[in-house]
Amino acid sequence: MSLQETLFIGACKPNPEPFPLKAILNHFTVIRDAIAGTKYLEPTTLESYIANISFVYALNTYKAIGLLLPESFHESGAVVLRQLWEVSLNLHWIGRDPVKRAQDFCNFTVMEYRKVIKKSGGGPAALNSFDEATAKFQKKFRYSDRRGKDRTHSSFATTTTHDRAIDLGAPWESEYELVYHLTSMHAHGAPGAVLHGMFQQQYPNPEIREQNSVSLIAILAINYIVRDVKLLTEMEIILDPSRVLEAFEDFQTCIKERPDEDSK
């Protein structure tokens, strides 16, 4: 069977225009630095602590993406982008009911530690002792299946990632269907990720294909981290987001105008 006889993913419009990669990466850095310079309130409650530390985690993943993209490592950038998207999803989902959901977020670490005990070979005695000591915290995350067998939920929300995206609505729901799916393929080294570039024949040359792949990761990462900034501003954790929002507005103008890279 030849390549021409196979089915593949990654189709796009013929002769796609190149994104202004250098300008986009410059905006990526400017937004990073603007976020680093924002003033914020020290957490005084559990929910504000979870929001703040989740944002710090998101910002660190954003910074990691910024190290990968200048070297055109868009495949690994896609993996870290999924990480950024999912921690942002959880942050926004907690924000809908922060007191209760922040507590669940913390309590779920008990279930994660329980899995470590179980897989590390501590034996039934160690596991039973742990279960007795943490029964109150585990109760929320345990349920019986249709056969009456004891099961544990796989997330602190007791729902799937897809369920949380639907609950949040736009733009999370559509991002789950496309962005989360595609970045997950890279996270798992799936055939669709490994062979993706081979079939993107719509591009006039490999350089533009790589340039646009890198640009797309950067564009999405910028949108996600600024969305998080806006949420923490609403929660009155970030006090003045003006520098970030101004930098984001400049970035959006850049995307609309698509400046000629040769002029940079």
Predicted confidence (pLDDT) per residue in 71-120, tens digit: 999 999 999 999 999 999 999 999 999 999 999 999 999 999 999 988 88
**Same structural domain, 79 and 197:** yes
Instruction: Clarify whether residues 94 and 131 are in a common domain.
Output: no
Inside any domain, residue 5:
no
pTM given for the model: 0.90
* 91 closest CA partner among 261, 196, 231: 231
Q: Are residues 130 and 207 in the same domain?
A: no
Pick left, alpha or beta for residue 64 (phi over 0 → left; psi -120 to 50 → alpha; otherwise beta): alpha
For the chain, the domain total comes to 2
Shared domain for 190 and 221, answered yes or no, is yes
How confident is the model at residue 263, as a pLDDT?
A: 44
Who has greater pLDDT, 225 or 202? 225
Domain that holds residue 178: 17-104+161-263
Round the average pLDDT of the chain to a whole number and report it. Answer: 90
d(CA 15, CA 205): 10
User: Does any domain span residue 12?
Assistant: no
Q: What is the pLDDT of residues 1-35, one digit of tens each?
A: 565 676 666 566 777 788 899 999 999 999 999 99
Q: Are 49 and 198 in contact (CB under 8 A)?
A: no
Q: Which sign does the torsion angle of CA 131, 135, 141, 142 carry?
A: positive
